[in-house]
Amino acid sequence: MSITPITIGVPGGVAGWKILQSRKIADFTAFTKDPSLQRDVSYLREKLPTKLTAKDLLADRRLQEMVLTAYGLDSQIGMNALMQKVLDSDPNDSGSVAARMVDSRYKQLSNALNYGGIAIPEIPAVPSSATIQVEGIRQGKTFESFSGSFGGVKVSGLDLSKASNRLELAATLQATFRRADGGNSHITVTALGGKLVFTDGKGRGGATNFILVASQGSTAQAALAANTAGSVAVPAQGGPAVSKSATVEEIVARFTQARFEESLGETSETLRKAIYAKRSLPSVTSWYSVIADRNLASVVQNVLGLPESFGQINVDQQKAMLERRMDIADFKDNAKLTKMLDRYVARSSVAEAQALASSSGIATLVQPIAWGGDSFTGSSAAALFSIIGVR
């Protein structure tokens, strides 16, 4: 799958940066409604929940590219052996492959998908039950009313005067409890010999405060003979999280953001890196994570005035120097981070415009004006102003 940049329509430089500060991705409708993006998102939502092993996920090249792109690990696309070890890492094991990676994005991905997490299967519900011994029912001499709770569902003052036998009692009680339970069929009431047996398949609790009032002159009697509370089901825990809608939507959001930044880079690499840094730096807790991520490293080095050759020295030396120049906790301070990125955009935009001017051959466009002329003409003027406009 090749990612096709989508036109966003944001100018470069400080002007573009100001626009990006005041708008969300949803505001760029040409981007969000792009057919290629919508197809990718639909594919992700459909296929990811079916990939219950890391091997299955990696075998789907299109899906692999989208998931790794979502976590900024697109450079690892196709590195299946390494990525399977990362994805199969136990998030709670500090010695796992994902945990040992310097770049924290590997651990974030491992945690999100949780392929290597301990899986505890679902514990099924133990049904609740209650048995009432019923005696002395005759035609016209039955029970007048019923009140009580079963399975956490309460019934009050139920009219039983028209139920002349145990089968009719059971049917009336069952229908009433099911209506009170929101129309669900978890509760059943069965006539079994001289007994009425209540069962709740969800295991939500036994009988409480059962009261059957006999009609006047009736010999009908009822007594609670058995009562079992049961227990509700315990959902499965751990294991792959790809079947959870929250996980899928988180990856959809990350992928959409990555695509937005990719397309933004078609206009300005400076703006792409600035937006990426804005969302990534607040979660950074180690300078090694900054150093390992070349996009973040280039932003920080630019702001601190460090030369390009800085990235070639020993990583421990880089860490020590960065610690002396800046407090990593500043990334969590929105005011400080905003000021830092404003400075980065201002500096880098100038360099970007100069590089563009040089690569575009602007010097050849600025020809001496003909004697008596007072303006640029045609394509030369248009090209010149398009380059200057980037500044």
Contact 9, 23 (CB under 8 A): no
Q: How far apart are CA 359 and CA 234, in angstroms?
A: 64
Count of domains for the chain: 3
| Candidate ranges 10-19, 67-76, 262-271, 365-374; pick with highest mean pLDDT | 67-76
**Structural domain ending residue among the three candidates 228, 250, 282:** 228
My answer on whether 88 and 134 are in the same domain is no
Tell me the per-residue pLDDT of 158-189, one tens digit each, with 9 for 90 and over.
999 999 899 999 999 999 999 999 999 999 99
Report in angstroms the alpha-carbon separations of 275 from 94, 240, 268, 374.
31, 31, 11, 42
Q: Is 21 or 127 the better-scoring residue by pLDDT?
A: 127
Tell me whether residue 283 is exposed, middle or buried, using C-beta atoms within 10 angstroms of its C-beta: 0 to 12, 13 to 18, 19 or more: exposed
Is pLDDT at 372 greater than 60 in this prediction? no
| Mean pLDDT in residue range 255-273 | 91
Are residues 76 and 221 part of one domain?
Answer: no
pLDDT value of residue 351: 67
Q: Does any domain span residue 256?
A: yes
Q: Give the per-residue pLDDT at 366.
A: 38
pLDDT above 70 coverage of the chain, percent: 88
Last residue of a domain, one of 267, 288, 321: 267
> Would you give the DSSP letter of residue 234?
B
301 lies in a domain? Answer: no
Q: Which of helix, strand or coil describes residue 142? A: coil
**Residue type at 363?**
A
- At 361, is the pLDDT very low, low, confident or very high (cuts 50, 70, 90)? low
Whether residue 142 is found in the same domain as residue 203 = yes
The CATH number of the domain holding residue 38 is: 1.10.3700.10
Rounded distance between C-alpha atoms, residue 80 and residue 86, angstroms: 10
User: pLDDT digits over 116-172, tens only?
Assistant: 988 888 899 999 999 999 998 887 788 999 999 999 999 999 999 999 899 999 999
pLDDT beyond 50 at 391 = no
Are 5 and 115 within one domain?
Answer: yes
Q: How far apart are CA 4 and CA 259, in angstroms?
A: 9
Residue 33 has pLDDT above 80, yes or no: yes
Report, as an integer, the average pLDDT of 279-290: 92
Q: Are residues 132 and 150 in the same domain?
A: yes
SS3 285: coil
User: pLDDT category, 353, cuts 50, 70, 90?
Assistant: low
* Element spanning 94, H or E: none
Q: What was the pLDDT predicted at 364?
A: 43
pLDDT at position 119, please?
82
Half-sphere exposure of 256 (CA within 13 A, CB side): 24
Report the pLDDT averaged over residues 320-331: 94
* CA 215 to each of CA 154, 171, 220, 238, 287: distance values in angstroms, whole numbers, following the listed order: 22, 19, 8, 55, 81
Query: SS in 3 state form for 291-321?
Result: HHCHHHHHHHHHHCCCCHHHHHCCHHHHHHH
Does 333 or 4 have the greater pLDDT score? 333
Q: Is residue 215 part of a domain?
A: yes
Which residue has 């079994």 as its token pair?
192
Mean pLDDT of 7-22: 86
Residue 184 exposure: Cα atoms within 13 Å on the Cβ side: 10
Rounded to an integer, the average pLDDT of 273-296 is 92
d(CA 205, CA 228): 7
Choose the final residue of a domain: 205, 228, 251.
228
For residue 248, pLDDT beyond 90: yes
Q: Is the pLDDT of residue 378 over 50?
A: no
Residues 79 and 156 in one domain: no
Establish if 328 belongs to a structural domain: no
Global confidence as pTM? 0.65
- Same domain, residue pair 245 and 117: yes
Residues 136, 116 share a domain: no
Domain housing 348: 338-388
Q: Are residue 133 and residue 112 in the same domain, yes or no? A: no
In a domain, residue 325? The reply is: no
Round the average pLDDT of the chain to a whole number and report it.
87
Q: Is residue 262 a contact partner of residue 1, using CB atoms and an 8 Å limit?
A: no
**Both 188 and 108 in a single domain?**
no
- DSSP calls for 151-216: TTEEEEEEE-TT--SHHHHHHHHHHHHHHHTTT---EEEEEETTEEEEEETT----EEEEEEEEPT
Kindly state whether residue 141 falls inside one of the protein's structural domains: yes
- Based on the number of CB atoms within 10 Å of its own CB, is 63 exposed (0-12), middle (13-18) or buried (19 or more)? buried
Average pLDDT over residues 234-261: 92
Is 117 within a domain?
A: yes
Q: Are residue 117 and residue 132 in the same domain, yes or no?
A: no
Q: Is residue 297 part of a domain?
A: no
Residue 164 β-bridge partners: none
- Looking at the fold, whether 115 and 32 belong to one and the same domain comes out as yes
CA–CA dist 242, 260 (Å, integer): 23
